[in-house]
Amino acid sequence: QPSPYADSLALHKNVMSAFESLADFLRQNTVTSMDNISGKKVSALGLPLKIDEVEPLSPCLRYSALFPPVPHPLLGGAELDGDKRKISGVNEGSPVIIQIRFEGSSKWPSSMNAMGAAKCAMLIQLADGIEKM
């Protein structure tokens, strides 16, 4: 059986393609507009602030990982009964880490604890919005 890392350049390109798709999705769906009912600014994902930048932090997103992420065998990473369809999802190895930067706002709290709670609430809202789409 060949090594899952046999074509590491293709694996790097696949993870970069997935990252670019995610970054484009987040930027496009967080453009805020005024809600006619509440009069507040909201995005398609339900966030009050736009995502300015999605930055790659993991070495695999900078072509510097020794072993790039490989799709999990149960999610199409290895051929299962001749089925060659690939399904995005869990990968083997380290998690792929990204940084999401929101637009600036004067309404961020000044207390570190309150800021942490606000960031957590924004990330929960982001996850809920992605699930609903």
pLDDT for residue 32: 77
CA distances from 43 to 47, 94, 109 (A): 5, 31, 21
pLDDT for residue 120: 92
3-state secondary structure of 97: coil
Residue 107 corresponds to which amino acid? K
Q: Give the pTM.
A: 0.71
Q: Which residues pair with 54 in a beta bridge?
A: 100
| Averaged pLDDT in 10-residue chunks for the chain of 133 residues | 66 84 89 72 82 90 79 58 50 80 84 91 89 83
